[in-house]
Structure 1
Amino acid sequence: MDNQLLGDLFFSPAQPLAGADLDDETLLQFACEEFPEKEFCIVRRWMLIDVILSDDEDRQVRSSGLRPTVIYAQAVTTKAGTKAEAAHGKLSGFQLRFEGCFFETQDMLYILAGRGSRKFASKPTVFALADLCGSGLWNTYENRPVNNPA
């Protein structure tokens, strides 16, 4: 079932979005100057995923100041300039803020570069993606969002 969920996520139509149209070196320089106190990374081949939750779960996420949106990325450049092509991608925690090409979680600022997309996905689909990426979005005992280093 996970393969079907992930297949639908990766290969179904999506809303195309554009991130920053600059090279990584320029983006790193800009981010280091503008956000010296923040942990950040530049992501390419990314997808914003709006997670479909029950009303109670949605209220719980929103009451903590977050939004039920995560980012999935296949290519990441860290603040130190290290590039990584993740075999199964990286998945963020829930959105704290999103403006322009900046997507922020509780512990990371993601700079969206190049082209990406946006989709809705069910909670089981995002759980399957989290398993694939090796990241846990929710505490198992409460279904609450947790800090999720990506």
Structure 2
Amino acid sequence: MEAAQLAYFLLDGAEHVEGLPLPDDELIGLAKRRSGDRPFCVIRNWIILDVMVSASDEKSLEAHGLQPTVMLGREIVFDSRNQGSRPGGLRSSFQYSFVESVFASKDTLYYLAGPGFRKHTSLTAVLTLDNVG
């Protein structure tokens, strides 16, 4: 599947969601103050994907304190690991928590800026993202 087709599929029927309404420099400062030693990214152009998984997979995730939800980011405004923006997009690991537009995986905090989307999708669609260039 081509990237453009997959993007259309993911956004078709997605719910519009507002992230943090701050300019990039203020978001970076906020993230630095709130994240402590934990790695973080400030992200624009994002989508939250609630992944449909089997009941046994959902129980396994819950046993690890996770939820079957991932975040896709297309614009990485700031990545604390390299102290700046970086090209390309990313897919988070499964969600640990999601509070006030901060998506947390087990190892990284993602500060979601501006408008984004949320949608239910299949695990197959999410795994296909790894093969799209």
TM-score scaled to structure 2, two decimals?
Answer: 0.88
Moved more, 124-133 or 109-118: 124-133
What per-residue deviation string (whole Å, max 9, x for no partner) do you get for residues 17-44 of structure 1?
0011111111111121222211000000
Which structure would you say has the larger RCO, counting Cα contacts within 8 Å and 6 or more residues apart?
A: 2
What per-residue deviation string (whole Å, max 9, x for no partner) do you get for residues 124-144 of structure 1?
1011013337xxxxxxxxxxx
**RMSD between aligned alpha carbons?**
1.9
Runs of 4+ in 1 over 6 A off after TM superposition: none
Alignment-derived partner of residue 16 in structure 1:
16
Letter in 2 for 1:21: P
2:10–2:119 CA contact under 8 A, matched in 1? no
Looking at structure 1, the residues matched to 11 and 26 of structure 2 have their Cα atoms a distance apart, in angstroms, of: 31
Alignment-derived partner of residue 59 in structure 1:
59
Unaligned runs of 5+ in 2: none
SS of the residue 1:94 aligns to: coil
Unaligned runs of 5+ in 1: 134-150
Looking at structure 2, the residues matched to 11 and 29 of structure 1 have their Cα atoms a distance apart, in angstroms, of: 30
Task: Report % sequence identity.
Answer: 28
TM-score scaled to structure 1, two decimals?
Answer: 0.79
Looking at structure 1, the residues matched to 67 and 33 of structure 2 have their Cα atoms a distance apart, in angstroms, of: 27
Looking at structure 2, the residues matched to 40 and 106 of structure 1 have their Cα atoms a distance apart, in angstroms, of: 11
